[in-house]
Amino acid sequence: MNLFKKDIRLTHVSRHHIIIYIEVIVLTFLLVSLFFISPGGKLSFPVVNQDSNASPSEAKKYIKWVDFDVTARAMQEAFRYDVNTCQSEPHLNWVDLLAYLGVKYGGDFSRYSTKDLDALAEQLLSGKTMEEVTAKMTHYAYYREAYGAVLDGLVGQYDIQIPSQNAPLYATPALLPDGTQDPDKVWVKKYGLKSFSPIAKGFPYNDFDDFGVARSYGYRRQHLGHDMMGQVGTPIIAVESGYVEAIGWNQYGGWRLGIRSFDGKRYYYYAHLRKNYPYHKSLSQGSIVTAGDVIGYLGRTGYSRNENTNNINEPHLHFGLQLIFDESQKEGNNEIWVSCYELTKFLSMNRSETLKNQETKEYNRVYDMTDPGIPDNFIPPEPPKEEN
């Protein structure tokens, strides 16, 4: 009889445990559902954010997180399709192509194959539209907006000076400051990569994939940029046309510059600039810069509350790229910084040539550029609050 009662108690306990296990599983599922599982299968913050104080019709929706893992090789090959079809129909947009592949790979470009890109291009060139090709891709719109926030301003039409000996028939003479024709340069119209490497042409640097590694100065945190090791005084180049949103000393970045793209989606951060002479003398808050301009000089300032302090052991440029889908993301816990290692490898195919003025000791670009992406009569918005 006691054994029978004991068996009943054991059975009751086993059932009780099973019920508890089921409840734990259900609770875990509910908790996970509070977060957004990204199209790439990675757990992240919800992509769509809504203002809790706004009515449903007024709630703002915007992307809250981006993992940018596109490889330089994928960017280069998609870019070639874009350039090679720029004067024909259909014109293949390189960001569209990469967004399609982003869906296909779940954002993991370690799976990238040229064959996949070629197969997509073949469909589009044979008459299918991108809308038709992506009709069943639930996450295509997300990847197109996310990758577009990184890449949309980098390729397009522009005018640039080139050496006279390379002049095509349609070239326009370049003029010297006195109004006479420059015998060494001409202007040409181009379509292609109108953005530049952050390191000037001819200056050595080395780098590795360091996004997300640990940092301890001030507090434990992740490295949200890309370090490019080089020589003190190396000219630093504006990657994209934009305006100077931040300039001056920062405890962590030392002498630093923040340049915002004209569409407002990209904030380029250049830090640890040279002691005593960090910036090109033409720059101030609100200055407009053209892609390829010299904006400053590599150094090792930072890690100090005291201005003009060299506390960085190895001279380097900290280059960062922040994406902004809503101004509430500019400062604080909602900032989106993306890895720039593969991007800088891609941009290295276009490096701005510079020349030092021996009188002023200032570097300037050799070949000027006119970017139609710079708005006429642009007035920079009020700068945001000072970053920490």
pLDDT tens for 170-180 read 899 999 989 99
Question: What is the model's pLDDT at position 49?
Answer: 46
Residue 32: name the closest of 41, 289, 255, 40 by CA.
41
Tell me the backbone φ, ψ of residue 218, rounded to 5 degrees: 85, -55
C-beta separation of 290 from 259 below 8 A: no
Question: What is the model's pLDDT at position 21?
Answer: 53
Residue 199: name the closest of 320, 313, 319 by CA.
319
Average pLDDT over residues 30-57: 41
Per-residue pLDDT at 41 exceeds 50: no
DSSP state, residue 235: E
Band of residue 31 on the pLDDT scale cut at 50, 70, 90:
very low
**What confidence tens digit (pLDDT) does each residue in 227-244 have?**
999 999 999 999 999 999
Which of 160-164, 374-378, 381-385 is predicted with the least confidence, judged by mean pLDDT?
Answer: 381-385
Average pLDDT over residues 299-313: 95
DSSP H or E segment with residue 190: strand 181-193
Per-residue pLDDT at 332 exceeds 70: yes
3-state secondary structure of 213: coil
Give the residue, 134 or 219, on which the prediction is more confident: 134
Positive/negative CA dihedral, 368, 371, 102, 123: negative
Average pLDDT of the chain, as a whole number: 86
**What confidence tens digit (pLDDT) does each residue in 253-293 have?**
999 999 999 999 999 999 999 999 999 999 999 999 999 99
Burial of 376 (0-12, 13-18, 19+ CB in 10 A): exposed
Question: What is the model's pLDDT at position 385?
Answer: 62
Cβ neighbours, 10 Å, residue 20: 10
Which of 7-11, 81-85, 302-306 is predicted with the least confidence, judged by mean pLDDT?
Answer: 7-11
Instruction: Please state, for a pLDDT cut of 90, what percent of the chain lies above it.
Output: 74
Residues whose CB is less than 8 angstroms from the CB of residue 130 and which lie 6 or more positions away in sequence, other chains included: 93, 96, 100, 124
pTM of the model: 0.83
Band of residue 36 on the pLDDT scale cut at 50, 70, 90:
very low
Average pLDDT over residues 2-13: 37
**What confidence tens digit (pLDDT) does each residue in 94-129 have?**
999 999 999 999 999 999 999 999 999 999 999 999
Band of residue 215 on the pLDDT scale cut at 50, 70, 90:
low
Q: Which residues of 190-229 are buried (b: 16+ CB within 10 A; e: fewer)?
A: eebbbbbbbbbbebebebeeebeeeeeeeeeeeebbbbbe
Per-residue pLDDT at 353 exceeds 50: yes
Question: What is the model's pLDDT at position 52?
Answer: 41
Band of residue 60 on the pLDDT scale cut at 50, 70, 90:
confident
